[in-house]
């Protein structure tokens, strides 16, 4: 699949901006039918918290704003005075959250926010962005980590996720019908591919054991 045709002019050079939503459509899918991803170790900006009211909670919103602000600053690279080696213009990746602490979606109030970074982004560039932004105590909580999502089954929900969401039932049924095994019974991942806020859509992911059950290789994205 070809990169986005969005062009950025910088120092007299026209650069094509990498857009994950165009290049990585299978990974960031709007399909309600179950599909699979295997995501290897990459770098992420992260921050953790507790949100009794989940995505509507002020703590979730504040920490989401902070980690996305850092990601946006890094993405500007030389334009923000961050001299990234082998920099290429790109659209910042979407916010995602791993929710944990309960047996059901509605009971999970502990969160860890992740924002993926391109391979050329190193921890030193995140530190420069944080210094520039001067985000105070919340900025001090932002970490730069190398993490792997593993193998997951996913389904898109056009509305915020709850126990009664169709995406939850879709994945629960698929896990049973395909003989899959969830790695964690008390957590799940939400990827906010259309932005984040109190009434957002989400791509729901359950981590599964890749050695158990029937995984459709034709509906698998690997990155």
Angle among Cα 70, 75, 81 to the nearest 5 degrees reads 85
pLDDT digits (tens, 9 = 90+) for 131-150: 999 999 999 999 999 999 99
Residue by residue, pLDDT tens for the chain (223 residues) are 333 434 444 444 444 899 999 999 999 999 999 999 999 999 999 999 999 999 999 999 999 999 999 999 999 999 999 999 999 999 999 999 999 999 999 999 999 999 999 999 999 999 999 999 999 999 999 999 999 999 999 999 999 999 999 999 999 999 999 999 999 999 999 999 999 988 999 999 999 999 999 999 999 999 9
Whether the Cβ atoms of residue 48 and residue 100 lie closer than 8 Å to each other: no
Based on C-alpha coordinates, what's the Rg of the chain?
Answer: 18
Structure tokens given for 168: 């939850």
Q: What pLDDT is attached to residue 209?
A: 98
Model pTM score: 0.92
Q: What pLDDT is attached to residue 14?
A: 47
Q: What pLDDT is attached to residue 161?
A: 97
What is the side-by-side order of every strand in the sheet holding 96-100? 143-147, 42-50, 110-117, 96-100, 187-191, 202-207, 150-157, 35-39, 220-222
Q: What pLDDT is attached to residue 6?
A: 46
pLDDT digits (tens, 9 = 90+) for 10-48: 444 444 899 999 999 999 999 999 999 999 999 999 999
């Amino acid at each position: 699949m070809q990169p986005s045709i969005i062009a950025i002019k910088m120092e007299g050079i026209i650069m094509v901006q990498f857009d994950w939503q165009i290049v990585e459509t299978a990974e960031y899918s709007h399909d309600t039918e179950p599909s699979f991803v295997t995501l290897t170790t990459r770098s992420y900006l992260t921050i953790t918290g507790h949100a009794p009211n989940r995505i509507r909670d002020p703590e979730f919103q504040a920490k989401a704003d902070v980690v996305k602000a850092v990601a946006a600053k890094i993405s500007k690279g030389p334009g923000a005075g961050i001299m990234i080696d082998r920099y290429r213009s790109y659209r910042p990746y979407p916010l995602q959250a791993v929710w944990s602490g309960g047996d059901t979606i509605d009971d999970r109030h502990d969160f860890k926010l992740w924002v993926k970074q391109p391979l050329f982004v190193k921890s030193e560039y995140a530190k420069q962005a944080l210094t520039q932004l001067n985000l105070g105590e919340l900025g001090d909580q932002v970490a730069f980590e190398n993490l792997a999502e593993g193998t997951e089954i996913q389904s898109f929900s056009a509305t915020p996720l709850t126990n009664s969401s169709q995406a939850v039932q879709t994945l629960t049924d698929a896990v049973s019908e395909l003989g899959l095994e969830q790695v964690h019974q008390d957590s799940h991942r939400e990827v906010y591919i259309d932005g984040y806020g109190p009434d957002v859509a989400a791509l729901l992911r359950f981590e599964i054991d890749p050695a158990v059950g029937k995984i459709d290789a034709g509906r698998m994205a690997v990155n």
